[in-house]
Copies of this chain bind each other. A is one copy, B any other.
Amino acid sequence: MPKIRFEPSGVETEVEAGASILDSALDAGVHINASCGGKGVCGKCRVTVEEGEIEGGLSEKISAEDAEAGVRLACQSLVKSDLVVRIPVESALDKAALKALSAGSAQVAQLIGAEDLRAEGRFDPALAKVVVSAPPPTLEDNRNDVARLLAALHDVGERRFVFEFEAIRDLPEAWRQGDWTVTTTIMRPVDPSSGRNQVIGVAPGDASNRNLAVAIDVGTTTIWAQFIDLNSGEVLGNEGDFNGQIGYGEDVISRIVYAGKPGGLEKLQKAVVDSINKVLQALAKRTGVDLADIGIATVAGNTTMTQLLLGVEPKYIRLEPYVPTAAYYPPVRASRFGLALPDHVLMLVFPSVASYVGGDVVAGVMGVGMHKDPRLTLFIDLGTNGEVVVGNQDWMACAAASAGPAFEGGGIKFGMRASKGAIENFSVNPITGEPAIITVGRALPKGICGSGLIAAVAALFLAGIIDERGKFNLDHPSDRIREGEDGPEYVMAWAPDTQIDRDITLTEVDIDNLMRAKGAMYAAYMTLLEGVGLTIHDLERVILAGGFGQSINIERAQIIGLMPELPPERFTFVGNGSLLGARLVAMSNPLRAEVGDIVEKMTNFELSVAPGYMDNYTSSLFLPHTECTRLFPNTCARLQEAKAALKNMA
């Protein structure tokens, strides 16, 4: 079997002849960015074949010059012999990018903690450790081990039990090793009035000081986990990593398509479980926690991530009329899905509202308490599928806007995630057209991330270099504005000033993609509000969730028409709302009960058939909007000022 060595990591692997380089890399745990799931259309998975023979791999995405230098698309390159393959910086994942996201998690950790819950009398975890003792058996009293435990639990006021098989199986040794004292791990029922206490585990002696939960956010891009000490309420640490499914496609649609291939669902399931386990093990190492002491896992993810984690066929999420399999899943044993958690640990999986409004949104809404707040709130989770929730304690409406991947750098010629070398900030001299760019990590630029894209379009728009339809002013004197191979474009960085030795440009196609993305979001807010007879100006709060949400500059997002033009004090960044909700549910069984209320309360709108949506969308495909004066008065005023200033300077 041919051997491949991947550079710069030096990882070596053996593969079947005829396998693609991308598949080989993923199987070996080497990440190569690939947005389209191996179809060969996104052109992201560029690698350089330094030694050895391959078949295929060329594409219109690769220039003749690059092809000459050995650049190929990994997904289209079939292995013929031993190879040395170099993964260029722009095709590799950059773990540094996680640091920015991590900050958001910490912010959330401060937002609502065990103390707040205690103050409200709601620090009441679903997982309880109850320690009981019993007299040892004699010939006169040789009741079975379970009967002895039930009597002891009864003595301390515990009632109404159902036993998991594993707890029964482990009980004989627990009683005797603990010298007739055992610690019983009990899952409280969601509804204490009708449900039963579920005995999920037993341990010898008094082990009640080890009572931990793990909250897990399964994102399309990243996995985050937190350990929570259920006795103190303390969060013991955060840890994150990329979701290993990324290699199979960057967005949920590519993943669903991949899941439809033979063995695809199993591979994706394994990939996300491996990633979760990596995060759990890293977090365990850092916090000194023994994974064996974890008794419960709360998990939130979008509908596709949830179904892929559980191995539930996702294809009907993608096909009209977009039907998910279930809202609620029963508590399931984490170990049966391969999670590196003790056998008895149950996963509480957040329910979904619809195919594109999933458990992550429900968790976020719960986390920010929107369902118990009288203020009219707009909750936004920005991403490939931007989820939007409008409402308050009395009602909630939600929708998914097919924003496309522009906010995460997808569909953008030099788009990338917010990792080292990504242009994240931008300003421009309106006269000369010369830019100032700032990159993540202050490195030489290698691409543009979402916030950089918004900054660039906002600045170029205010500078009059692009117009309200997103078209370049080709009369501008700057040589940065030119006709490129994909049409008019603006050179953000010249090749010698980059890490990638190519000009980094912003094209009209990129701008068009961003406008579609922001238009989809804005039209979603409008449509949901109009559906209940309200307008943008009735909004009392806007909550931005998600990793990207927190890196956004509200002012610039308003200039391009992505965010409603409301006073800045009405905006709140919540960071990782999904993880927040997951943690709260681990800490509070009453909150767990509220999750079901949220799902029942939330009405999903399919925007594609919602009255008015298409009109709203069309009106939003302008900078900032066709109804600029009514909806974006400040931006209108600034535009006028900028034009006047430019005229004065000229």
Chain A residues in the interface with B (C-beta under 8 A)? 137-147, 162-165, 168-169, 171-173, 176, 310-313, 315-316, 320-330, 332, 352, 354-355, 606, 608-609
Contact = CB atoms under 8 A, between A and B. Distances in A.
B144 A312 contact: no
A401 to B, nearest CB: 16
A171 B323 contact: no
Contacts of A328: 146, 163
Contacts of A322: 139, 142
List the number of copies, as a whole number: 2
Given A169-B310, A169-B312, A172-B316, A327 B146 contact: yes
15 contacts: A139-B322, A139-B606, A141-B321, A142-B321, A142-B355, A145-B323, A145-B324, A145-B325, A146-B326, A147-B326, A168-B329, A168-B330, A169-B310, A172-B315, A172-B325
Nearest to A313: B172
B325 A165 contact: no
B165 A332 contact: yes
A598 to B, nearest CB: 16
Given A311-B169, A330-B165, A608 B139 contact: yes
Given A169-B311, A172-B312, A606-B139, A325 B146 contact: yes
Contacts of A329: 165, 168
A140 B310 contact: no
A168 B332 CA distance: 12
A168 to B, nearest CB: 5
A-B residue pairs, 4 tightest by C-beta: A146-B326, A142-B321, A139-B321, A139-B609
Interface SS of A by simple majority: loop
A60 to B, nearest CB: 36
A162 B141 CA distance: 37
Contacts of A315: 172
Contact of A137 (B168, B323, B332): B323
Contacts of A608: 139
Contacts of A169: 310-313, 325
A171 B147 CA distance: 38
A326 B325 CA distance: 37
A288 to B, nearest CB: 32
Nearest to A165: B332
A69 to B, nearest CB: 47
A312 B145 CA distance: 12
Nearest to A169: B312
A389 to B, nearest CB: 18
Contacts of A143: 323
A328 to B, nearest CB: 7
A388 to B, nearest CB: 18
A175 to B, nearest CB: 9
Nearest to A303: B144
Given A144-B352, A162-B330, A173-B313, A325 B139 contact: no
A608 B609 CA distance: 79
Nearest to A162: B330
B312 A168 contact: yes
Given A311-B169, A316-B172, A320-B139, A327 B162 contact: no
Contacts of A323: 137, 142-145, 172
A279 B322 CA distance: 46
Nearest to A352: B144
A140 B172 contact: no
A327 B144 contact: yes
Nearest to A140: B609
Contacts of A332: 165
Contacts of A163: 326, 328, 330
A228 to B, nearest CB: 25
Contacts of A171: 325-326
The residue in A330, A332, A352 that gathers the most chain B C-beta atoms within 10 A of its C-beta is: A330
B609 A145 contact: no
A339 to B, nearest CB: 14
Contacts of A354: 142, 144
Contacts of A352: 144
Contacts of A146: 325-328
A485 to B, nearest CB: 39
A147 B606 contact: no
A612 to B, nearest CB: 15
The residue in A139, A144, A320, A354 that gathers the most chain B C-beta atoms within 10 A of its C-beta is: A144
A199 B162 CA distance: 18
B137 A321 contact: yes
B606 A144 contact: no
A147 B321 CA distance: 15
Nearest to A327: B144
Contacts of A147: 326-327
Nearest to A606: B139
A352 B146 CA distance: 12
Nearest to A145: B325
Given A172-B313, A176-B316, 8 more contacts: A137-B323, A141-B321, A145-B316, A163-B328, A169-B312, A171-B325, A172-B312, A172-B325
B606 A325 contact: no
Contacts of A313: 169, 172-173
B355 A606 contact: no
A355 B332 CA distance: 32
A461 to B, nearest CB: 35
The residue in A163, A326, A354 that gathers the most chain B C-beta atoms within 10 A of its C-beta is: A326
